[in-house]
């Protein structure tokens, strides 16, 4: 079963040269690492990273050891691993007590206790027994339905600052609710200045772990309307993205799901909770026949509205054509490309035939500006197929701004949100790479700006809850803002 769940991708600037390098988790064999040698999209493979005996699944990027560069945490079916960035020596598995060796999926670095060190949340999928056989309705052996297998509690690791991570799932309350966790995102969903964790669970109610302070979390998704679909159904949650879809200055949630379930938009209503806005956004029918995993929200065409791309791929063979077709071809589906408007998505697949026309067993998806031209490109991974890079060649009718939100040590401030006010309106974006499915994207906040709009102000809400205003930057550049510095530079 792990092979059908796929593996993820991380886009991260390992060598701090200002561009995004590429790490591809492999199911079997050594992971693959590629250095960005632009201009343009050009990667050179550097070195494989041994998988430590795990079937590789997810990857998260963050400055785990506080030395200012980006490390990786890799999950899998088998032992997880923390890969420390040792500069010229590359990525090296950290020594120390063993990590979880069950089946973990997505991970997210996040400083939940506001001590200045990145902690780590790891979703766990299921207590899988490989000797357990499952069958399709016609009796052929097929991958198991997740409801056949019990879930596991997710894991929360506190960074102690001395190079160690201590698992605090039980003390924090998170271990109390086992489930089949896949995607996770860290964000202050309740607006109280403390980061929370939202977890997409497969065929079960999603979890929203609300940070109570003092290291304690309570699960409030059922209370706040983010556990079930608007129809009240538990859905097969896979990937998660957050973005200001409704344009009200608050980040909403987009969740990918199994075929016959909507890709669900949970609109955040401050002080109230969430409402399912999927149908309003056109997702009552768009994408309903495909199974979504990785997901990216971004203003790909720089018109000021968020677009979306969803990596699709089946998890069960379509009945009636089973054994004769090439095995994995039976699980392939095409990606869903959605163009965003003021309050609705429309199918934009025709404008991206390579992305929406070539089928794959799509799984991981990460967005980031790979070629430095200011618009987000995409890396899509597939189960049993090559990863593919999609250069964004949308007609750039507008301008753009990339904002790198950094801690005083120079590492990305995960969980910061960036508010950009322009003459065309106010937009909020995340500066948080830990979204999608098993993947980690560009940590910089990206804004598309309509051609005739002028930037008026830039405000950061840092992950510790503090706010800071910066001078309005000029468009079409990457700017670096450092927490507490009050200045901005290229």
The nearer residue to other proteins, 160 or 285, going by C-beta atoms, is: 285
Q: Which is nearer to other proteins, 102 or 457 (CB)?
A: 102
Q: How far is the CB of 161 from other proteins (least distance, A)?
A: 33
Among positions 137, 162, 326, 386, the unique one binding other proteins when judged by CB under 8 A: 137
Nearer to other proteins, 148 or 490 (CB): 148
| Nearest by Cα to 205 from 277, 266, 142, 268 | 266
Query: Counting contacts by CB under 8 A, is residue 356 touching other proteins?
Result: no
Q: Does 342 bind other proteins (CB under 8 A)?
A: no
Query: How far is 381 from 360, CA to CA, in rounded Å?
Result: 9
**Distance between CA atoms of residues 28 and 50, nearest Å:** 10
Q: Which is nearer to other proteins, 256 or 439 (CB)?
A: 256
Minimum CB distance to other proteins, residue 250 (Å): 17
150 lies in the site for other proteins, by CB under 8 A: no
The reply to whether 275 sits near other proteins by the rule CB under 8 A is yes
**Phi and psi angles of residue 433, each rounded to the nearest 5 degrees, phi first:** -80, -15
Length of the chain as a residue count: 490
Choosing from 19, 21, 100, 142, the residue that interacts with other proteins (CB under 8 A) is 142
Strand ranges for 423-487 from DSSP E: 425-431, 445-449, 455-461, 467-470, 477-482
List the alpha helices (DSSP H) in 117-194. 169-172
What is the spatial distance between Cα 343 and Cα 425, in angstroms, rounded to a whole number?
A: 14
Among 17, 231, 354, 456, binds other proteins (CB under 8 A): 231
Q: ∠ CA 375-43-365 to the nearest 5 degrees?
A: 55
Does residue 310 contact residue 292 with C-beta atoms inside 8 Å? yes
| Backbone conformation region of residue 225, classed left if phi is above 0, alpha if psi is from -120 to 50, else beta | left
Q: Are 106 and 437 in contact (CB under 8 A)?
A: yes
What is each CA distance from 130 to 2, 149, 262, in whole angstroms? 9, 11, 30
The footprint of other proteins on this chain (CB under 8 A) covers a number of residues equal to: 54
272 binds other proteins (CB under 8 A): yes
CB of 55 to other proteins, least distance (A): 18
What does the per-residue mask of binding to other proteins show for 280-309, with x meaning CB under 8 A?
x-x-xx--xx-x------------------
Q: Does 127 sit near other proteins (CB under 8 A)?
A: no
Owner of token pair 């994207």: 441
CB of 225 to other proteins, least distance (A): 5
Piece in contact with other proteins (CB under 8 A), picked from 56-64, 274-282, 404-412, 432-440? 274-282
Helix, strand, coil percent values for the chain (each to nearest 5) = 5, 45, 50
User: Measured at the alpha carbon of residue 191, what is the angle toward residues 185 and 192, in degrees to the nearest 5?
Assistant: 110
Which of 66, 68, 153, 234 forms a contact with other proteins (CB under 8 A)? 234
**Residue 228 contacts other proteins per CB under 8 A:** yes
Of residues 8, 273, 364, 396, which one binds other proteins by CB under 8 A? Answer: 273
Q: Where in 167-226 is the site for other proteins (CB under 8 A)?
A: 202-205, 219-220, 222-225
Site for other proteins in 312-341 (CB under 8 A): 314-316, 318-324
| 260 lies in the binding site for other proteins (CB under 8 A) | yes
CA distance 222 to 224: 6
Q: In angstroms, rounded to a whole number, what is the distance separating the alpha carbons of residues 61 and 412? A: 10
Burial grade of 478 (CB within 10 A; 0-12, 13-18, 19 or more)? middle
95 or 272: CB nearest other proteins: 272
164 binds other proteins (CB under 8 A): no
Structure tokens at 110: 């996040």
State which residue, 96 or 318, has the beta carbon closest to other proteins. Answer: 318
Question: Can you give the binding site for other proteins, defined by CB under 8 A?
Answer: 134-140, 142, 145-147, 202-205, 219-220, 222-225, 227-228, 230-234, 236, 258-260, 262, 272-273, 275, 279-280, 282, 284-285, 288-289, 291, 314-316, 318-324
């Amino acid at each position: 079963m792990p092979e059908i769940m796929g593996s993820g991708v991380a886009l991260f600037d390992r060598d701090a040269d200002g561009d995004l390098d590429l790490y591809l988790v492999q199911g079997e064999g050594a992971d693959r690492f590629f250095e960005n040698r632009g201009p343009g999209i050009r990667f050179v493979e550097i070195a494989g990273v041994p998988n430590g005996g795990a079937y590789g699944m997810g990857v998260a990027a963050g400055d785990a050891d506080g030395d200012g560069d980006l490390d990786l945490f890799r999950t899998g079916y088998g032992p997880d691993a923390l890969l420390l960035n040792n500069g010229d020596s590359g990525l090296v598995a950290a020594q120390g007590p063993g990590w979880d060796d069950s089946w973990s999926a997505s991970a997210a670095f996040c400083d939940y206790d506001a001590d200045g060190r990145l902690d780590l949340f790891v979703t766990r999928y299921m207590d899988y027994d490989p000797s357990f056989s499952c069958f399709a309705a016609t009796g052929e052996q097929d991958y198991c339905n997740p409801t056949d297998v019990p879930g596991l509690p997710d894991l929360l690791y506190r960074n102690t600052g001395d190079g160690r991570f201590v698992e605090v799932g039980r003390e924090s309350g998170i271990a109390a609710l086992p489930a089949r966790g896949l995607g996770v995102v860290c964000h202050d969903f309740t607006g109280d200045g403390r980061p929370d964790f939202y977890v997409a669970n497969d065929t079960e109610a999603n979890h929203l772990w609300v940070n109570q302070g003092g290291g304690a979390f309570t699960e409030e998704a059922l209370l706040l309307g983010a556990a079930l679909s608007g129809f009240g159904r538990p859905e097969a949650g896979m990937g998660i993205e957050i973005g200001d879809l409704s344009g009200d200055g608050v980040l909403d949630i987009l969740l990918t799901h199994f075929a016959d379930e909507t890709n669900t938009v949970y609109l955040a209503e401050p002080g109230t909770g969430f409402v399912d806005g999927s149908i309003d956004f056109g997702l009552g029918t768009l994408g309903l026949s495909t199974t979504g995993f990785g997901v990216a929200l971004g203003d790909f065409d720089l018109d000021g509205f968020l677009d979306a791309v969803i990596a699709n791929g089946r998890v069960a063979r379509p009945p009636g054509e089973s054994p004769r077709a090439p095995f994995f071809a039976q699980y392939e589906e095409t990606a869903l490309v959605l163009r965003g408007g003021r309050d609705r998505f429309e199918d934009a697949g025709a404008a991206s035939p390579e992305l929406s026309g070539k089928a794959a067993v799509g799984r991981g998806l990460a967005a980031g500006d790979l070629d430095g031209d200011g618009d987000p490109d995409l890396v899509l991974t597939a189960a049993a197929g090559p990863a593919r890079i999609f250069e964004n060649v949308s007609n750039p009718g507008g301008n753009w701004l990339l904002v790198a939100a950094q801690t005083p040590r120079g590492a990305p401030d995960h969980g910061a949100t960036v508010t950009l006010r322009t003459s065309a309106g106010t937009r909020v974006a995340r500066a948080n790479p830990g979204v999608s499915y098993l993947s980690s994207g560009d940590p910089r906040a990206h804004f598309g700006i309509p051609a005739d709009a002028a930037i008026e102000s830039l405000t950061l809400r840092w992950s510790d809850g503090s706010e800071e205003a910066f001078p309005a930057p000029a468009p079409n550049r990457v700017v670096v803002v450092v927490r507490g510095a009050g200045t901005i530079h290229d």
